[in-house]
Amino acid sequence: MRKFLKPKVLSDISFRSRGAGGPDSFSSIPRRLNLGYRRTFRLSCIRFLKAAISLLALVVLITGSVSAPTFFTNAFGSVADDERKALETQLVQLEQQIDQYEYQVVGYQQQGKSLKGQITLLNDKIAKLNLQIQAVSLTLTQLNKKITETQGQIEVTEKNIESKKTALGKLIQDVYQNQRVSLLEVFLKNPRLSDFFTSVNNITLIQTNLRVTIGDITDLKNDLEEKEEQFTLARADAESVRVYQASQKAQVDVTKKEKNKLLEVTKGQESRYQSLLKETKATAAQIRSRIFQFLGGGELSFEDAYKYAQLASGATGIRPALLLAVLDRESALGQNVGKCNYKTAMSPKNQPLFLEITRELGINPDIITVSCANRDGAYGGAMGPAQFIPSTWNLYKDSIAKITGHAPASPWNNGDAFVATALYLKDAMGTCVSLYTSEASRERCVAAKYYAGGRWKNYLWTYGEAVVSRANNFQGDIDTITG
């Protein structure tokens, strides 16, 4: 039997792995008695990769769902921007041609009335109207593209919300499960301090992600509401523009008939034309007694309406004819603007302001009518002849009171309404002056801003042009009654 040497001291005990030299003297002794044993830490690459992938998947689930469609949206937006710029360039070119005809029309009007001049004037009006119809068609194309883009954005946002809701459900489930486990149980399941603190940090991370996800869903819902409002307004704009375009086409036919009738009656003779002109020209007395109807309801004699317009013009510099045209019912093609109750027509954020305005004036809010919401769902709620919504009226009421002396100013007072309109147009004129050089273009711009606010470009050649044309007619009436 082979004899093994006994260790003399503890340092003689050493651990050797099995190998060519045979087994170690203490290899059969348990580890807790093996004084030469050193614990080693081995890192498994496979386990590490699995953990990293799982963590990455969790991060993508929680934070990545909103940004997923960004590339598609940006790429599509780039193409849409190019198309939009091309359409805007065409519109600018058309506007320049229309302005040329506008100068010619004004020139013929200033030269005096003659049969030849009137026929040329009518021909220019027809050409101008045809160009306006083309401009409106381009505007419609822009609006249709915007509607399509907004629909796509709404779909993307809805998908993002659903994705966030799925992540939210998982997080809520995790929070619920973790809340049922006490810290003591977590500690007992993870006896090592490092594992315990990792578990506690994971619970905190889940709760933090829950708050972040709820915030993301709230932001997405607000974004969705904004896009849905843009979509509704774009559809309403498109419908309004179609109505105006139909009116312009009808006006072309009317102008052509006017030209043909003029040639038929006069048979090309200047004397007959002058005799006809004298018969058809309205007298100052007729104009003064003519009924002026407000856009927002109510009516005055033209003479009284002109006096209010003069007052507002003196305080703001806006010409009376333009004020009359903006406030005139026909400038909006007679649309329904004042037959609804505020509870059904007005936006929720404007209703408290409306109640405050009526309270200050001592008016029962339930018997006062405001403009109706349109059939696409866009809110109404505009008040009185000037058709201001409550939030806009509050911006101007103090300035109105200083000019008219009415404190508080009332949206349903004729004098206050004229001044309110003039103040708004004056503020809008600053931007229009920087964009356009001709007076007609500036007034067209101002009228469109009055009607549609930030969406004014959609209404340059519809509402804006209708107002300017109406203003020119009123200017002729003013010139007649003032001598």
Q: What is the pLDDT of residues 139-153, one digit of tens each?
A: 888 788 878 887 788
Query: Which has the minimum average pLDDT: 3-17, 191-205, 242-256, 301-315?
Result: 3-17
> 396 and 383 in contact (C-beta within 8 Å)?
no
* Average pLDDT, integer, range 183-194: 53
Residue 360 has pLDDT above 90, yes or no: yes
Decide: residue 463, CB within 10 A, 0-12 exposed, 13-18 middle, 19+ buried: buried
| Among candidate residues 472, 375, 392, 378, the one with its CA nearest the CA of residue 427 | 392
> 327 and 414 in contact (C-beta within 8 Å)?
no
DSSP states along 86-120: HHHHHHHHHHHHHHHHHHHHHHHHHH---HHHHHH
For the four alpha carbons of 304, 307, 312 and 318, in that order, the dihedral sign comes to positive
Instruction: Give the Cα separation of 483 and 480 in Å (integer).
Output: 5
Q: Cα–chain-centroid distance for residue 463? A: 19
**Long-range CB contacts (within 8 A, 24+) of 9-18:** 10/35
Query: Which has the minimum average pLDDT: 58-67, 339-348, 385-394, 405-414?
Result: 58-67
Phi-psi region of 340 (alpha: psi -120 to 50; beta: other; left: phi over 0): beta
Query: Which has the minimum average pLDDT: 123-137, 192-206, 283-297, 366-380?
Result: 192-206
Q: What is the pLDDT of residues 8-40, one digit of tens each?
A: 444 444 444 444 444 444 444 444 444 444 454
Q: What is the pLDDT of residues 466-477, one digit of tens each?
A: 899 899 889 989
Angle at 393 between CA 388 and CA 394, to 5 degrees: 160
Instruction: Give the Cα separation of 194 and 52 in Å (integer).
Output: 18
> 384 and 417 in contact (C-beta within 8 Å)?
yes
Residue 335 has pLDDT above 70, yes or no: no
Instruction: Give the Cα separation of 402 and 418 in Å (integer).
Output: 14
Residue 61: its pLDDT value, please? 39
Average pLDDT of every residue of the chain = 75
Higher-pLDDT residue of 55 and 135 is 135
Phi-psi region of 298 (alpha: psi -120 to 50; beta: other; left: phi over 0): left
CA dist list (Å): 480 to 140, 300, 309: 39, 19, 16
Residue 135 has pLDDT above 90, yes or no: no
| Among candidate residues 441, 354, 428, 424, the one with its CA nearest the CA of residue 389 | 354
| Domains of the chain by start residue, with CATH | 45-277 (1.10.287), 282-481 (1.10.530.10)
Q: Cα–chain-centroid distance for residue 77? A: 17
Q: What is the pLDDT of residues 247-269, one digit of tens each?
A: 778 878 888 888 888 777 777 77
pTM score, two decimals? 0.61
Residue 340 sits at φ, ψ, to 5 deg, of: -120, 155
Residue 27: its pLDDT value, please? 45
* Average pLDDT, integer, range 210-220: 74
* Average pLDDT, integer, range 130-135: 82
Other C-beta atoms lying within 10 Å of the C-beta of residue 174: 17
For the four alpha carbons of 307, 312, 316 and 319, in that order, the dihedral sign comes to negative
Kind plus residue range of the DSSP H or E element containing 77: helix 70-111
Residue 386 has pLDDT above 80, yes or no: yes
Residue 110: its pLDDT value, please? 54
Query: Which has the minimum average pLDDT: 318-322, 385-389, 452-456?
Result: 452-456
* Average pLDDT, integer, range 168-176: 64
Q: What is the pLDDT of residues 80-104, one digit of tens each?
A: 677 777 777 777 777 777 777 766 6
Residue 24: its pLDDT value, please? 46
Instruction: Give the Cα separation of 464 and 102 in Å (integer).
Output: 14
Query: Which has the minimum average pLDDT: 131-135, 163-167, 326-330?
Result: 163-167
CB neighbour burial string for 349-376, b if at least 16 within 10 angstroms, e if fewer: ebbebbeebbeebeeebeebbbbbbbee
Give the residues across from 300 on adjacent strands. Answer: 292
Residue 432: its pLDDT value, please? 94
Residue 333: its pLDDT value, please? 53
**Tokens 């929070």 belong to which residue?**
175
Residue 362 has pLDDT above 80, yes or no: yes
**What percent of the chain has pLDDT above 90?**
27
> 415 and 308 in contact (C-beta within 8 Å)?
yes
